[in-house]
Protein backbone atom coordinates (compact mmCIF):
# COMPACT_ATOMS: atom_id res chain seq x y z
CA UNK A 1 0.00 0.00 0.00
CA UNK A 2 1.15 3.51 -0.75
CA UNK A 3 0.25 6.88 0.77
CA UNK A 4 1.39 10.34 -0.09
CA UNK A 5 1.56 13.02 2.60
CA UNK A 6 0.94 16.49 1.19
CA UNK A 7 2.43 19.24 3.34
CA UNK A 8 0.51 22.47 2.83
CA UNK A 9 3.41 24.73 3.73
CA UNK A 10 6.33 26.19 1.83
CA UNK A 11 8.17 27.16 5.00
CA UNK A 12 11.68 25.78 5.50
CA UNK A 13 10.84 25.24 9.19
CA UNK A 14 7.37 23.84 8.67
CA UNK A 15 5.88 22.11 11.71
CA UNK A 16 3.51 20.28 9.41
CA UNK A 17 6.46 18.84 7.50
CA UNK A 18 7.93 17.59 10.80
CA UNK A 19 4.64 15.83 11.49
CA UNK A 20 4.58 14.35 7.98
CA UNK A 21 8.15 13.10 8.35
CA UNK A 22 7.24 11.53 11.68
CA UNK A 23 4.34 9.66 10.06
CA UNK A 24 6.67 8.33 7.37
CA UNK A 25 9.21 7.26 9.99
CA UNK A 26 6.81 5.65 12.44
CA UNK A 27 4.24 4.07 10.13
CA UNK A 28 6.18 3.46 6.92
CA UNK A 29 7.09 -0.20 6.37
CA UNK A 30 7.70 -2.76 3.63
CA UNK A 31 3.92 -2.97 3.33
CA UNK A 32 3.20 0.74 3.50
CA UNK A 33 5.21 3.51 1.87
CA UNK A 34 4.51 7.10 2.91
CA UNK A 35 6.05 9.64 0.55
CA UNK A 36 6.13 13.22 1.80
CA UNK A 37 5.41 15.50 -1.14
CA UNK A 38 6.48 19.10 -1.50
CA UNK A 39 4.29 21.71 -3.15
CA UNK A 40 7.00 24.38 -3.11
CA UNK A 41 7.86 24.28 -6.80
CA UNK A 42 4.38 24.11 -8.24
CA UNK A 43 3.57 27.13 -10.42
CA UNK A 44 0.37 29.08 -9.96
CA UNK A 45 -2.51 27.15 -11.45
CA UNK A 46 -3.83 28.65 -14.68
CA UNK A 47 -6.47 27.25 -16.97
CA UNK A 48 -4.19 28.32 -19.82
CA UNK A 49 -1.55 25.82 -18.71
CA UNK A 50 -3.56 22.87 -17.51
CA UNK A 51 -3.21 20.85 -20.72
CA UNK A 52 0.52 21.56 -20.93
CA UNK A 53 1.59 21.53 -17.28
CA UNK A 54 5.18 21.85 -16.08
CA UNK A 55 7.21 18.80 -15.12
CA UNK A 56 6.69 19.64 -11.43
CA UNK A 57 2.93 19.49 -11.87
CA UNK A 58 3.10 16.25 -13.88
CA UNK A 59 5.24 14.56 -11.23
CA UNK A 60 3.06 15.82 -8.38
CA UNK A 61 -0.15 14.61 -10.00
CA UNK A 62 1.40 11.26 -10.90
CA UNK A 63 2.51 10.67 -7.30
CA UNK A 64 -1.01 11.37 -6.05
CA UNK A 65 -2.56 9.25 -8.79
CA UNK A 66 -0.45 6.24 -7.81
CA UNK A 67 -1.25 6.57 -4.10
CA UNK A 68 -3.93 4.51 -2.38
CA UNK A 69 -4.57 7.31 0.09
CA UNK A 70 -3.61 10.93 0.74
CA UNK A 71 -2.70 12.40 4.13
CA UNK A 72 -3.06 16.18 4.21
CA UNK A 73 -0.98 18.16 6.68
CA UNK A 74 -2.38 21.63 6.67
CA UNK A 75 -1.22 24.76 8.44
CA UNK A 76 -3.86 27.34 9.27
CA UNK A 77 -3.57 30.78 7.72
CA UNK A 78 -6.25 33.28 8.71
CA UNK A 79 -8.66 30.52 9.66
CA UNK A 80 -8.26 28.70 6.35
CA UNK A 81 -5.72 26.70 4.39
CA UNK A 82 -2.66 28.48 2.95
CA UNK A 83 -2.93 29.70 -0.62
CA UNK A 84 -0.06 27.43 -1.67
CA UNK A 85 -2.09 24.41 -0.61
CA UNK A 86 -5.20 25.60 -2.41
CA UNK A 87 -3.06 26.08 -5.50
CA UNK A 88 -1.82 22.49 -5.31
CA UNK A 89 -5.37 21.23 -4.87
CA UNK A 90 -6.56 23.21 -7.88
CA UNK A 91 -3.96 21.42 -10.03
CA UNK A 92 -5.17 18.04 -8.70
CA UNK A 93 -8.77 18.91 -9.44
CA UNK A 94 -8.39 19.37 -13.18
CA UNK A 95 -7.94 17.31 -16.38
CA UNK A 96 -7.31 13.79 -15.05
CA UNK A 97 -8.92 14.63 -11.66
CA UNK A 98 -6.72 12.32 -9.63
CA UNK A 99 -8.57 12.83 -6.33
CA UNK A 100 -11.88 11.30 -7.40
CA UNK A 101 -12.59 8.39 -5.00
CA UNK A 102 -9.13 8.79 -3.45
CA UNK A 103 -9.41 8.42 0.34
CA UNK A 104 -8.12 11.37 2.37
CA UNK A 105 -7.03 11.87 5.96
CA UNK A 106 -6.72 15.43 7.28
CA UNK A 107 -4.26 16.53 9.94
CA UNK A 108 -2.72 19.82 10.92
CA UNK A 109 -0.54 21.49 13.47
CA UNK A 110 -0.06 25.06 14.59
CA UNK A 111 1.48 26.79 17.59
CA UNK A 112 -2.06 28.00 18.33
CA UNK A 113 -4.44 26.25 20.72
CA UNK A 114 -7.13 25.23 18.24
CA UNK A 115 -4.87 22.99 16.20
CA UNK A 116 -5.96 24.15 12.68
CA UNK A 117 -9.64 23.32 13.25
CA UNK A 118 -10.87 26.11 10.95
CA UNK A 119 -8.44 25.19 8.19
CA UNK A 120 -9.42 21.53 8.45
CA UNK A 121 -13.10 22.36 8.09
CA UNK A 122 -12.34 24.30 4.91
CA UNK A 123 -10.10 21.55 3.58
CA UNK A 124 -12.81 18.96 4.15
CA UNK A 125 -15.25 21.05 2.12
CA UNK A 126 -12.73 21.52 -0.69
CA UNK A 127 -12.06 17.78 -0.85
CA UNK A 128 -15.82 17.27 -1.09
CA UNK A 129 -15.65 19.25 -4.35
CA UNK A 130 -12.90 16.92 -5.58
CA UNK A 131 -15.02 13.86 -4.71
CA UNK A 132 -12.43 12.56 -2.29
CA UNK A 133 -13.88 10.60 0.65
CA UNK A 134 -12.51 11.98 3.91
CA UNK A 135 -12.13 9.83 7.03
CA UNK A 136 -14.42 11.33 9.65
CA UNK A 137 -14.22 11.03 13.42
CA UNK A 138 -10.44 10.97 13.51
CA UNK A 139 -9.74 14.69 13.77
CA UNK A 140 -6.05 15.19 14.31
CA UNK A 141 -5.65 18.71 15.66
CA UNK A 142 -2.16 19.22 17.02
CA UNK A 143 -2.34 22.52 18.90
CA UNK A 144 0.78 23.95 20.55
CA UNK A 145 2.74 22.09 17.89
CA UNK A 146 5.93 23.98 18.65
CA UNK A 147 5.93 22.21 22.05
CA UNK A 148 5.07 18.75 20.69
CA UNK A 149 7.29 18.46 17.63
CA UNK A 150 11.04 18.69 17.33
CA UNK A 151 13.86 18.36 14.86
CA UNK A 152 12.95 17.31 11.34
CA UNK A 153 10.81 14.28 12.15
CA UNK A 154 9.95 13.90 15.81
CA UNK A 155 6.78 14.05 17.87
CA UNK A 156 7.73 14.36 21.53
CA UNK A 157 4.23 14.42 23.03
CA UNK A 158 3.08 10.96 24.11
CA UNK A 159 -0.65 11.67 23.91
CA UNK A 160 -0.24 12.87 20.33
CA UNK A 161 1.65 9.68 19.45
CA UNK A 162 -1.06 7.58 21.13
CA UNK A 163 -3.69 9.35 19.06
CA UNK A 164 -1.75 8.85 15.83
CA UNK A 165 -1.38 5.16 16.69
CA UNK A 166 -5.18 4.99 16.71
CA UNK A 167 -5.83 7.11 13.64
CA UNK A 168 -3.37 5.49 11.26
CA UNK A 169 -4.90 1.98 11.49
CA UNK A 170 -8.35 3.55 11.14
CA UNK A 171 -7.22 5.24 7.94
CA UNK A 172 -5.75 1.97 6.63
CA UNK A 173 -9.10 0.26 7.13
CA UNK A 174 -10.83 3.20 5.43
CA UNK A 175 -8.47 3.00 2.43
CA UNK A 176 -8.97 -0.75 2.17
CA UNK A 177 -12.72 -0.28 2.12
CA UNK A 178 -12.51 1.86 -1.04
Residues lying near ligand FNR in the complex (CB under 6 A) are found at 9, 11, 14-16, 75-79, 110-112, 114
Closer CB to ligand FNR, 149 or 167, in the complex? 149
Nearest distance from residue 145's CB to ligand FNR, in Å?
A: 7
Closer CB to ligand FNR, 39 or 130, in the complex? 39
For 39-89, give the DSSP string.
Answer: -TTPPPP-TTTTTS--HHHHHHHHHHHH-SEEEEE---BTTB--HHHHHHH
Closer CB to ligand FNR, 20 or 98, in the complex? 20
Nearest distance from residue 2's CB to ligand FNR, in Å?
A: 23
Nearest distance from residue 114's CB to ligand FNR, in Å?
A: 6
Amino acid sequence: MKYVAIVGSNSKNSLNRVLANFLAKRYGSDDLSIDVLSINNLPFYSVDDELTPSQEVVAFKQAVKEADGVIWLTPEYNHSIPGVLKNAIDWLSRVDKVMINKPSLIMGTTPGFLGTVYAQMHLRDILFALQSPVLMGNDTLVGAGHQKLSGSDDVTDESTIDWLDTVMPNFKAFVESH
